[in-house]
Each structure stands twice: as C-alpha cells, then as structure tokens.
Amino acid sequence: MHNGVIAETRGESRKKRLKSAKRWQRLEQAYVIVTLLLFAQAFFPFFQAGQVDSVADGNALLQTIWKIIYGIAAVLIFVHRKRVLAVLARDKLSLVLLLMIVLSALWSAAPEITVRRSVAFVGTNLFAIYLASRFTLREQFQMVAWVLLSGALISAVVSVLMPDIGKMLYQGSSAWRGIFPHKNQLGRLMSLGAIVFFLLFMMKVWPRWLTVGGFGLSVMLLLLSESKTALIVLLLLLVCIPFLRTLRWSEYARILLWLPVGLAGICVSVLVLTYLEPILRYFGRDLTLTGRTGLWDIVSEMILQHPWLGYGYSGFWLGWEGESAYIWRVTFWEPPNSHNGFLDVTLDIGLIGLGLVLLSFLSRIRRTLPYQMSSQSWEHDWPMLFLFYLVLCNLTETTLLDHNSFFWTLFIALGFSLPKWRMAERRSHIRWYDLPAGRGEA
C-alpha cells in the first residue's frame, strides 16, 4: 500500500513536470514567433510614427525593443547552455564570420557605428543559435509558417481598414505594404509564404483549409504588393520543387528526366534572351533593371578602393554622412544599399568576407543534400528551397549580413540545425524506389 502511494505520488509529480515543461515551451515558441515577426520588420510603420529615425543613429524605440530581445535570448542560452554548446561545432564558419564582423571596427570608415551595429549583429546571431539549439528543423519550419500567416492576416486587415498605413499612398502608389515598411518587404515575405504553405499542404500536417487559405492569401498579397521581383522569385522556386524531388531518384531516372527538360530550358533561355527587352518592359523593368546596373558599376569602383576588408560592417551606406555620399552624388538618387546582397557584403567586409559568406552557402548546401535525400517528407525540401530563395532575392535586393533580420536569422539557424553527416552517409546511393512513402517526420 505504501509503495503504491509513493508510485502514485511520483506519477503525479512527473505529470506536473511535463505540464510545466510544455507551458515553458509554448512561452518560448511565442517569444520566437514574436521576435521573428519583428525581425521581418512587422509593425515598423507604427514604430516609426513620430520617431526620429536617421540613417546613422537608427530608431530609439526599436533599439530598446532589440535590447529586450537580446537580453531574453542571452538568458535562454544560459538556461539551455548544454544544448547550445552541443550545436556550436556544427557551423564554425558562421562563428568565424561573426568574429570578422566584430573586428571590422578596427578598419571601419565609421567605427562607432560599426561597433554599435556589430553588437546588434551578435545579438541576432545569439537568437539564431538559441533557435537552432532549442527547436528542431521541423519545429522551426512550422513557427516560420505561423510568422508568415500572422503577418499576412494582419497586413490584409491593416491595408483594408487603415489604407494610409497599409498602402504606399504617400509615394503616389496603391501598392500594399501591410504592416511592413515597404511593398517589396511584403512581397518578399509573401513569396516565401506561398512556398511554405505549399509544402505544408503536401505534408498534410495542418488542416487543408488553413494551408490552402495561407497559400491563396500569400499569393494575393504578393500581387497586391506589385513586387515584380518577388513574383519572379516565387515562379522560379515553384519550378525548382519538382527537380528537388528528383534528387531522391536513381541517377538513370534523373538523366531520363533532366536531359529533355534541360534541352527545353536551353531553348526557352534563347527565346528569353532574344526578347529580353519586351519581357522586362512587361514586368515594368528595363535592361538596366531600373537603374541597378549603373549603380552596381559605381559600387564595384568603390569596392576596388578597399577590396580585401571593405569599409567595415555597416560602415559604407550612411547617406550623406558616409562613403555612400559619393554614390548618391553621381547617381542623382539616394539608394539605401547596393540592391545586391553580395555587393553589400563585399562593401562591408571585403572579398575575404564575401568568400566566407559563399563558403557558408556551399557548406549548407553540402549538408542539406543528404538531409533532403534521407526522407520523402516535403519538409526536407525546405532548407534547399530557402537557400535558393535567399540567393535569388539577393541578386536585386539586400538581406545578407543584416542585423535584426528575419532572413539572416533563418540562415544562421539553418547552419547550426543541419546535422553533420558522416562521409559514408553522404556518399550512400539512395534510390527513389527504395524510399518509403513520406508522411512527415515524427
């Protein structure tokens, strides 16, 4: 009898601990979702209202919010320090890149700004490391889905009920921006959202009405944002999905599919190049990509002045107060960046830093391939699609090395989340007919 009472007491105690652990996990998930929403620049039009927001000094209210987020991340990293130490060895390149950015204050053209923003970059990376150590790739993927769904729903409501905020009327445009500072940011997020909800639809882990609704809402907001680049990125990623699925096939099956498709792709490319100008005109662009090519030429000239180490992290684009004043003067417009992520990386930390970033991409791709081929589950396509997405977006926009950035956070978290595959596993030949039908990871 006495032993039975003890066993029952222990059982109740175990249940209480499990409930408490689940409650804390939900709180952490809520913290991650809210933080990622803010990193995606959600609600910035509200935060910036009535606030002095200079290129060099930033926004005081937002800086306070970032400090709170970094502080919580630091506490959670201490709480889960064993897990954090366990994942740090998975992505040493990101740690080297982080060190280089901090040290770039030594040669920066604006050392005080580099110090301040490198601290923000460290905080962003700490949050990404915490995210990777605390949650699996599957859990991260689903939290990203909640972030994008929340952003889409609130953006739709704000754009309809508060058009002065939700639309870019102040620039003489009817394009929607929702709760984000610019229509292009809404477009970028919704193109990614469409991909995420397509994968969730195929995974069958969420209700069909929710995934179909999320996909439809994402596409609708993407079109209303009038972001042509984001639309092209979405179309390219949708085309990539069938090819990623074929990576699980045998070599002969892939050749039988890829050879005719490759030949068709060459023919289409020739037609596109032949009629490039009218095609670009249809999308509201020209051969200069709305002045970007001329900007890239001048940026390349500035890179050649400090080729190896650059101008220091965030040490170049400081408006009329920094080295960017020359570009503003000769181009007769005031771009906030190079409109190319890889050029901006080179401006910040030179060709050495660009090499580290490119190696980080290659390292992730090398580790993503065996991860993707290890299962038929659609969620295993997410890492590769996100990497493709990031490359495509940074051809005409800048999201690489951004502090307090939704995209860079996911990139860093991916590096610390992907498992290290042994050589035998990496070289193993996985045939499509040997794989079981995927229904999602447990």
Q: Taking a C-beta distance cutoff of 8 angstroms, is the pair 133, 86 a contact?
A: yes
What pLDDT score does 437 carry?
Answer: 37
Contact assessment for residue 390 and residue 340, using Cβ atoms and an 8 Å cutoff: no
Please choose, from the candidates 238, 194, 192, 234, the residue with its C-alpha nearest in 3D space to the C-alpha of residue 216.
194
Separation between Cα atoms, residue 265 and residue 273, nearest integer Å: 12
Rounded alpha-carbon distances, angstroms, from residue 242 to 239, 248, 257, 380: 7, 11, 11, 13
Which amino acid, one-letter code, is at 368? T
d(CA 243, CA 264): 14
Q: Alpha carbon of 99 to those of 92, 105, 295, 315, 335: distances in Å?
A: 11, 11, 30, 16, 28
Give dist(CA 304, CA 318) in Å, integer. 19
Helix (H, G, I), strand (E, B), or coil: what is residue 41? coil
CA distance 57 to 191: 31
- Residue 338 CA, distance from chain mean position: 18
Token output for 248? 């699980």
Only one residue has tokens 């050029």, namely: 343
pLDDT at 254: 64
Q: Report pLDDT for 433.
A: 34
Distance from C-alpha of 75 to C-alpha of 88, rounded to nearest angstrom: 17
The pLDDT assigned to 22 comes to 84
Cβ neighbours of residue 115 under 8 Å, at least 6 residues apart?
Answer: 105
Cα gap 41→267, rounded to integer Å: 41
Query: What is the distance between the alpha carbons of residues 142 and 379, in angstroms, rounded to a whole number?
Result: 10
Q: What is the pLDDT of residue 48?
A: 74
The answer to pTM > 0.75 is yes
146: which 2 tokens? 């909640």
**Farthest-apart Cα atoms in the chain, separation:** 89
pLDDT reported for residue 274: 67
The burial class, CB within 10 Å (0-12 / 13-18 / 19+), for 422 is exposed
Query: What is residue 70's predicted lDDT score, i.e. its pLDDT?
Result: 96
Report the number of secondary-structure helices (H) and strands (E) in the chain: 19, 2
Question: Which three-class secondary structure state does DSSP give residue 291?
Answer: coil
Q: What span, in angstroms and rounded, lies between the C-alpha atoms of 330 and 298? A: 9
Query: Tens-of-pLDDT digits for all 442 residues of the chain?
Result: 555 555 556 666 677 777 777 888 899 999 999 999 999 999 998 887 655 556 666 788 899 999 999 999 999 999 999 999 999 999 999 999 999 999 999 999 999 999 999 999 999 999 999 999 999 999 999 999 999 999 999 999 999 999 999 999 766 678 999 999 999 999 999 999 999 999 999 999 999 999 999 999 999 999 999 999 999 999 999 999 988 888 877 766 666 666 676 667 777 766 666 666 676 677 666 666 777 889 999 999 999 999 999 999 999 999 998 999 999 999 888 999 999 999 999 999 999 999 999 999 999 999 999 999 888 899 999 999 999 999 999 999 999 999 999 999 999 999 999 987 654 344 444 443 333 333 333 3
Structure tokens at 254: 């892939």
Q: What are phi and psi of 231, to 5 degrees?
A: -65, -45
